[in-house]
Amino acid sequence: MLKIRINSFSYKREIPSDPSENGGGFVFDCRAIHNPGRYEEYKQLTGKDQPVIDFFNKDGEIHVFLKDVFALVERSVERYLERDFENLMVNFGCTGGQHRSVFSAEALANRLQSKYPIEIELHHIEQELKGRL
């Protein structure tokens, strides 16, 4: 079974390494997307919290970004499944690893899980380090 490791992370640290030893995968930079973390009411929240989700849905910019991400990743997932590959890694980075990258990682995990016979391993690295998720 194909195992897809999806990470959100902060560029203040480093791009996550691939524990499967395949040496890579996708890295998507979310820093160009409108950041709810710039507004006081969202600073203590994450991309999993409803007010942040509502912010992204109202703004819409992140959905344009994710449409392209979904297309790229899904092509690879389909090829990996055809070729019986076992591992794929997808990383989403933003400044703090809290809003944009978390939302994006969650969205991709939900989409892939609903479409393919795969195993998802989802990590919000910065939030796990803070003990928040």
Ordered DSSP codes for 4-57: EEEEEEETTS-PPP-TTSS---EEEE-TTS--GGGSGGGTT--TTSHHHHHHHH
pLDDT of residue 63: 98
Note whether 89 and 7 are within 8 A (CB). yes
- What's the pLDDT band for 104 if we cut at 50, 70, 90? very high
* Residue 46 CB burial class (10 angstroms; 0-12, 13-18, ≥19): buried
pLDDT of residue 133: 62
- What's the pLDDT band for 22 if we cut at 50, 70, 90? confident
- Residues 70-99: tens digit of each pLDDT: 999 999 999 999 999 999 999 999 999 999
